[in-house]
Structure 1
Amino acid sequence: MLAQAMAGNASALVTAFTTASVPKLKRSVGVGRSIPAYTQINEASQAVLCGDGQDVRDMTVAQWQTYIAQQVQTSSIYGAYWSELRFGCSSWPFVPNWRFTGPFASPEADTRGVEGRPAAPLLFVSNRLDPVTPLASARRMAAGHPGSGLAILDDMAHTVFIQNNSCIDGVIHDYFEMGIVPQGETFCNASCGPWDTNCPIERLHLY
């Protein structure tokens, strides 16, 4: 599937996601089997967090207090938690040789394949309630890319692919398969809520 997509035919890859043909975890692992733990997960995550972000090793206590206050203002529930993650970079000893600092934007798309311009507008997707990548951030990113669309799923989770929602999957399928970008914002209703008893077992970890 990946080879076909890299060669220009993304049909199989998109179909795998939109039809949920990627094996579920319980079917992949099976009864009595387990996935070996990746023992370097903390170090790998820290390297990405600290390497991609601004160098914070010289931040003062006052600067940290301001940063934490900003995060809590953004999210009274998760703000302090995300501040703690970044604080771990205050003593990270490695600095990347190159780090992209922006601009995180793109010019208007041109279907003729003009150099320096994307061939199609971007499509952003977001859950309405996402504690990791909030909807407000998706809206800010979309504003920096002319002609982009934003598909919103009225659900509570991180990432939309795992929701098995026919509406949002259809928007993504149409984007990759036919290049259709919704105008402005498109809203999709949740197919399964936290109090529903008929939810697939794979969704239980989301709530």
Structure 2
Amino acid sequence: MTRLGRWTALTAAAALLTAGCSSGSSGDDKADEGESSARPSAAAPSGVPESLASQTPDWGRCKATAGSPAPGDDWQCATLKAPLDWAKPDGETIDLALIRAKATGDQRIGSLLFNFGGPGGSGVSMMPSYADTVSSLHERYDLVSWDPRGVAASEGVRCRSDEAIEDAESVDSTPDTAAEEQAYLKDAADFGQGCEKAAGKLMAHVSTTDTARDMDLMRHVLGDEKMHYFGISYGTELGGVYAHLFPKRVGRVILDAVVDPSADTMGHAENQIRGFQRALDDYLESTGQDPEQGSQKIAGLLKRLDARPLPTSSDRKLTQTLALTGIVLPLYSKDGWPALTSALAAAEDGDGSELLALADGYNERDPSGRYGTTTHSQRVISCLDGKQRPTVEETKKLLPRFEKISPVFGTFLGWDTAGWCHDWPVAGQHETPEVSASGAAPILVVGNTGDPATPYEGARRMADELGKEVGVVLTWEGEGHGAYGSGSDCVDSAVDAYLLKGTVPKDGKVCS
């Protein structure tokens, strides 16, 4: 069980279907005329050696990746070099994979950089599939994204083999006995050791702060004086950290599906328990069920699966953990609710195939048994960011509170706090991220009242921490993870007006 919602559901649902590209260009493709010799005029990050500050991306045709065809001719890929250790910027470097589609119109504003969440989501793979959603922005912006350090084509970390991932499905993530607790914690420690072996020295240099500094180098190399940015889910935390580090370089910044920057490890768990239970209640009401009774029925199914996993159409079993993961995915979007109804009915009839398929979608497992590495990168990054390492005893004290909030999600996300960074090889950096950005231009913070993974309350807290006259909240009374492009003309028009014209909506504006 991974931390739910730290990777945007848009990525999760599309993980096996989106087009991708490599970080490099094809050998016979040339950079756009004038780019190879033109030095960006934008202010360079301080302390960056000339060899990095003066680099120009060699944009070329994107290549296909395993399981994904190359995107269309509008897309270009390149590699950016960044310091491995930002405390030693003139030392060893790493390669970061970039992708872009140039602005289609004449009145170009600049680059609009996207991070789709995680941490651990691949922007290189996701950006082409998201282009239709942001088509109204493409005329005036180059659409740009990247694989952050430690992710996918940017020296992505794989902590465990596909076979070992599948073997770990038998580990009980809500242990009831001392033996199950021991197995759960051993599996967590083994995962961390696998990450350390795979990542090596990179393990200590994949923090959100490191990536925010990469972004400022990217801004400079792309030739932008200001950072124009669209962050979703975890991408909102990254955007907040960037604004804190470089407030005077903030241009037009959107934070959608907002992570609560004031929450520590236990606080994030409680937020998500409330958020997913709220979404489940809304789903149950939509099907004519009483939310309390419906939740207890689902909790009963999960309890039965804890003792006896269900058969499926394959040789794999539907465990309690896989079932919970399968329930989570369709809660990210109202469009997924019919699939949840069907899968729950099938499970009640003794067939776990549909819930297993939903779980595999969340876990990036393809039909051949190959898994994506998003959750590997996610864990490496978040365990370097967060300093807290809750013990089993601390977790057990909070379980009754979590289970009262949600009989479905409370136990799972409670235990996750103990196992996620258990016996982690690298110390965490902070209790909570610093996002105060006094002096920055207004940042538009978009919250959705029905968001399961990043509950609405986080939007107001982000705005408050960004600072007075910086954080501006736009509320959508809707369902699903994220607001922009989710069906609200009110939200879309407000975001477009801000990004295209610089029109800042009134703080507290509500779209119903």
Which category describes the TM-score, using the shorter chain as reference length? 0.5 to 0.7
Task: Give the structure 2 partner of residue 184 of structure 1.
Answer: 507
1:136 aligns to what?
Answer: 457
Q: CA deviation at 1:152?
A: 1.2
- 8 Å CA contact retained: 2:498, 2:504: yes
Q: Is the 8 A contact 2:449 2:478 kept in 1?
A: yes
**Deviation for aligned residue 1:41:** 3.1
Measure, in 2, the Cα distance between the counterparts of 1:171 and 1:138. 16
Distance in 2 of aligned mates of 1:49 and 1:165: 32
Report what 2:383 is aligned to: 50
Look up the SS of the partner of 1:161 in the other structure: coil
- List per-residue Cα deviations over 1:2-58 (Å, max 9, x = no partner): 4758x95258x9985444799xxxxxxxxxxxx96543233222223322222306x
Contact 2:448 2:482 in 1 (8 A): yes
CA separation in 2, counterparts of 1:143 and 1:72? 30
Letter in 2 for 1:106: A
- 1:89 maps to which residue? 420
- Contact 2:388 2:431 (8 Å CA) reproduced: no
Distance 2:429 2:109 in 1: 30
Q: Which of 161, 171, 184 is the aligned partner of 2:494?
A: 171
Q: Does 1:64 align with 2:395?
A: yes
* Contact preservation (8 Å) 1:68, 1:79: yes
CA distance 1:175–1:71, change in 2 (3 Å): farther
Tell me by how many angstroms 1:81 deviates. Answer: 4.0
**Following the alignment from structure 1 to structure 2, what is the Cα–Cα distance between the partners of residues 21 and 102?**
30
Counterpart position of 1:205: none
Where 2:378 maps in the other structure, the secondary structure is helix
Does the 8 Å contact 1:50/1:86 carry over to 2? no
**2:382 match: secondary structure:** helix
The 1-side partners of 2:383 and 2:409 are apart by 19
Q: 1:126 to 1:78 in 2, by over 3 A?
A: farther
Q: Deviations over 1:99-148 (max 9, x none)?
A: 584432221xxxxxxxxx31x11110011111111111111111122122
Paired residues of 1:78 and 1:131 also in contact (CA < 8 A): no
- Alignment check: 8 A CA contact 1:50 1:92 kept: no
The alpha carbon displacement at 1:90 in A equals 4.2
| Pairs within 5 Å for 1:1-207 | 2=100, 8-10=109-111, 17-19=133-135, 38-56=371-389, 59=391, 61=393, 63-68=394-399, 76=406, 78-95=409-426, 98=429, 101-107=432-438, 117-118=439-440, 120-144=441-465, 145-147=467-469, 148-189=471-512
**Cα pair distance change 1:122/1:66, threshold 3 Å:** farther
Q: Output the aligned Cα RMSD.
A: 3.8
Structure 2 portions without partners, runs of 5+: 1-74, 76-99, 115-129, 139-364
The DSSP-based 3-state class of the residue aligned with 1:152 is strand
Partner SS for 1:164:
coil
> 1:106–1:146: 8 Å Cα contact kept in structure 2?
no
The letter for the 1-side match of 2:110 is N
Where does structure 1 lack aligned partners over 5 or more consecutive residues?
A: 23-34, 108-116, 190-207
Mapped partners of 2:110, 2:137: distance in 1 = 18
State how far apart, in whole Å, the 2-side matches of 1:52 and 1:46 are: 10
Q: Do the aligned partners of residues 39 and 3 (structure 1) sit closer, same or farther apart at CA in structure 2, a change above 3 Å counting?
A: closer
Q: Residue 386 of structure 2 contacts residue 428 of structure 2 at CA under 8 Å; is this kept in 1?
A: no
The whole-number CA distance in structure 2 between the counterparts of 1:165 and 1:54 is 38
Larger gyration radius, structure 1 or structure 2: 2
Q: How far apart, in 1, do the equivalents of 2:511 and 2:101 lie?
A: 31
Give the total of aligned pairs: 163
TM-score by length of 2: 0.27
Match of 1:202 in 2: none
Question: Against the structure 1 CA distance between its residues 66 and 78, is the aligned structure 2 distance closer, same or farther, given a 3 Å change threshold?
Answer: same
Distance change >3 Å, CA 52–CA 79, structure 1 → 2: farther
* Native 8 Å contact 2:447 2:476 kept in 1: yes
SS state of the match for residue 87, structure 1? Answer: helix
1:97 CA drift (Å): 7.3
Give me the whole-angstrom Cα distance separating, in 1, the residues matched to 2:459 and 2:432: 18
